[in-house]
A and B are shown apart, each in its own frame.
Chain A
Amino acid sequence: MARTSHRERRLLRILSIPMFLLALTCVYPIFFSVNNALKTNRNYILDRFGVVSDFTFDNFVQAWTRSNLDSYFWNSVIVTVGAVALLLLVSSLAGFALAVLRFPMRKLVFIVILASLMIPVQVVLVPFYQTIIGLGLLNTRIGLILSYTAFFLPFSVYLMTAFYAGLPRELVEAARIDGARLLQVWWTIMLPLGKPALITLGILNTLYCWNDVLISLLVLQDERTLMVGIAALRGEYTTNVPLLSAGIVLAAAPIVILYVVFQRRIVNGIAVGAVKG
C-alpha cells in the first residue's frame, strides 16, 4: 500500500512538470499584458520583457477615456446581454420543439440548421451586409443583437436539441396528461431541466459575442464594441504596446470577474453540457 502510494506520488510529481508548463503558457500572457500595461511606451521599448519597476496607470486612463473604450464597453455589454438572452430563449424553444414535438419535416428542419453550421461567416458577408442595410439596421445595436443571434443560433439549437432529446419523454407526456399546454411544459419542465445546458450555452455565446470583431465591424460602424476598439489601438506601422495591453486587460477583466464569481456554476455547467451534448 505504502509502495503504491509512493509510486503515485512520484507519478504525480512527474505529471506536475508538464501541467506546470501548461499552466505557465496560460498565466504568462496575462502577466505579460498586465506588466506591460503598467509601463510607459518608452520603458517598454527599452526593456520589453523586464518586470515593471516604475509603474503608471496612465495607459488605463488613456485607453478608457481618450480611446473611447468607455463607450465601446457599454456597447459590448448591451449587445452581448441582448444577444445571449435572445439566443437562450430561441434556442431553448427550438430545441424543445425539435426534440420533443412531432411535426412534418422535423428532421429536415434539424438538418438544415445543422448544415448552416458548416457555412463560414466570411462566405455570406456581402449578402448579410446588404440585408442589414436593406432592413435599416446598420449602425444600430438591435441590428448587431439580431446578427449575433442569427450567426450563433444554429449551434445553440443543435446543443439544446441534443440535450432535450436525452431527457425522458415520459416527463412531457405526464405533464400533457395533467393538462399542461405546450408552453407550460416548456416553462415548468424543460427550462428548469435544461439549466445546465443553458449555462454552458450562455458562457459560450457570451465569449463569442464579447470577443467578436468581424460582425461588429460591419454592423456597428459609427459606434464600436470593445474588441473593435482594441483592434483599432493597433497602428498600421506602429503600436503603442502598453496602451494596447491596458485595453486588453480592461476587456478581459469583466469575463475574468464573471468567471471568478460564477466559477462553480460554470464548471458544473460545462461538465453536464459536455456529457449531455
Chain B
Amino acid sequence: MQPNDQYYTLLGTALSSGQGPDLFLLNGGAQARARMDALTDVTASADGLVGLAEFESPEGAVMALPITIQGFVVYYNKARYEEAGLDPDAPPQTWEELVSVCEAITAAGEVPCFSLGNKEGFAAEFFLSAIAASTLTDEQHSAFAAGDLAWSSPEISEILSLWVETNDMGWYPRGANSTAKFMDEYEQFMRGDAANTIGLLSDVAHWKQFEDFLGAEGLGVYRHPAPDMVSDHPMMPVAGGIGYGVNAASAKADLALELAQTLAAAGPIQTFVNDAGVVPANTMVDTSGLSSPAAGTILGWLDGSSAQMAHANVTAEELAEWHRQSQLLLNGETTVADAAARMDEVQAAAHGG
C-alpha cells in the first residue's frame, strides 16, 4: 500500500533507478505521457478496449491497458428541481433551458444551482471540457491540443466568458475558490445543498456514490449544454481513465503483460463495475445488470454522443495556468481578454513558440 500523494514520486524514483515494479497502475493523459519511456508497447493486447487515446505514444502505440472510461456529465438532485417548480424528469438540453433551470433554482432560494469547488482549479478543468465537448468540432479539438487553436480564439474565449457569466448569474455558492472539488463540492451535492454538479463517470464522484445518498430515483443526469453547439444535442467528454502499464525494464515483461491482460479482462472488470461503479474500458463487459437509471443513461451516450476531453489534451503548463486564471476570473481580478492573452503566452511557450 502506498500513500497516494507519494505514489508517482516513488514510482518515478523506482523506475529511474531500475527498481520499478514489473506492472503498475497509472492515470491516462499527462501521467501516462510522462512515463512513455518506461512502458512497453501493449498494442497487441488492446483489442476490445476503448479509451486508448490517453495511453498512446506520439507514434500511436498503446502503452497501457485501460480498465475504465472517464468523463464528465451533470448530475442533478430531482427533489431540488421539484422544489423549484421544475420537471425532475426533463433536464435541460439546451443552454437556454439550463439558464432557465438555474434561474428557477436560484429564485427558489434554497440552494445554489451548481456546487463548485475550484480550490485547485479542478472545477475550471471540468467546465472547460464539459462546454468544449459540445462547442468544438473534432478538428478544433485537435487544433487546440496541438496549440494551433489559441485560447483567445472566439471558440475558446467564449468558454472563458461563460465561466465568468455563470458566476455572475449566481449559479455557484460563495467561496468556490476556497472549496475543494474532491470531496467538499461533491459532499455538498450529496447532502442536497446544491441542485447540480459536474461529476465523473468512474472511480469517485459518480452515479453510484451519488445514488447512495440521493437514491437511484432521486438522481438525474444530463450532458452539459452549451451555446452554439456543433451538434443538435450536447456531447459528453470522455477519455481513458486508469490503466495498467508494463515496465520496459522488467525481466518478467511477458508475465507482467499476462497479468495486465487478466486485470483488464471482462471478468475482473465486471466485479469492478458492479461493486465500485465504473464505466468499463472493456467493451465485452456485460453492463445490462446495472440497475442504476443514471448509469444506463450514461452508457447509452458512449456511442455517438461522446467527444474529446479538452482539458486532458492541453499541456500541463496550460492546465496549471488555467487553474490560476480561472480563480482570478471568478474573483473578478482579471478580464476574459487578459486571461486569454496570458493563456496564449503559456500555450505558445509550451508548444515551443
Contact = CB atoms under 8 A, between A and B. Distances in A.
Interface of A: 42, 45-46, 48, 68, 126, 129-130, 133, 213, 217, 224, 228-229, 231-232, 234-239
Interface string B80-97: 000000000000000000
Nearest to B14: A221
29 contacts: A42-B212, A42-B213, A45-B190, A45-B191, A46-B191, A46-B213, A48-B187, A68-B1, A129-B17, A133-B19, A217-B3, A217-B6, A217-B10, A224-B1, A229-B1, A231-B3, A231-B5, A231-B6, A232-B4, A234-B3, A234-B4, A234-B5, A235-B204, A236-B5, A236-B7, A237-B183, A238-B182, A238-B183, A238-B205
Contacts, number: 47
Interface in B1-43: 1-7, 10, 13, 17, 19
A228 B191 contact: no
Given A45-B191, A133-B19, A224-B1, 6 more contacts: A126-B13, A231-B3, A234-B3, A235-B204, A237-B203, A238-B182
A136 to B, nearest CB: 14
A48 B183 CA distance: 13
A162 to B, nearest CB: 36
B98 to A, nearest CB: 26
Question: Which 4 A/B pairs are nearest by Cβ-Cβ distance?
Answer: A231-B3, A236-B4, A237-B182, A238-B204
Contacts of B203: 237
Contacts of B5: 231, 234, 236
Contacts of A45: 187, 190-191, 213
Contact residues of B: prevailing secondary structure: helix
Given A42-B212, A45-B190, A45-B191, A237 B13 contact: no
Interface string B42-74: 000000000000000000000000000000000
Contacts of A217: 3, 6, 10
Interface residues of B, number: 21
B187 A232 contact: no
B4, B13, B17: residue with the most chain A Cβ atoms closer than 10 Å: B4
Contacts of A133: 19
Contacts of B187: 45, 48
B3 A239 contact: no
B183 A228 contact: no
Contacts of A232: 1-4
B6 to A, nearest CB: 6
B70 to A, nearest CB: 11
Contacts of A68: 1
A224 B187 CA distance: 31
Contacts of A231: 3, 5-6
Interface in B173-212: 182-183, 187, 190-191, 203-205, 212
Nearest to A46: B191
Contacts of B2: 232
Contact of B183 (A46, A129, A239): A239
B319 to A, nearest CB: 16
A164 B153 CA distance: 73
Contact of A129 (B3, B13, B190, B213): B13
A109 B272 CA distance: 59
A232 B1 CA distance: 7
Contacts of A228: 3
A237 B10 CA distance: 18
Contacts of B213: 42, 45-46
Contacts of A129: 13, 17
Nearest to A44: B187
Contacts of A48: 187
Nearest to A48: B187
A232 B212 CA distance: 24
B23 to A, nearest CB: 16
Contacts of A42: 212-213
B233 to A, nearest CB: 29
A231 B7 CA distance: 12
A235 B10 contact: no
B28 to A, nearest CB: 14
Nearest to A67: B1
Nearest to A68: B1
A2 B182 CA distance: 60
A48 B19 CA distance: 42
B13 A235 contact: no
A48 B7 CA distance: 29
A187 to B, nearest CB: 43
B212 to A, nearest CB: 7
A237 B205 contact: yes
A217 B7 CA distance: 11
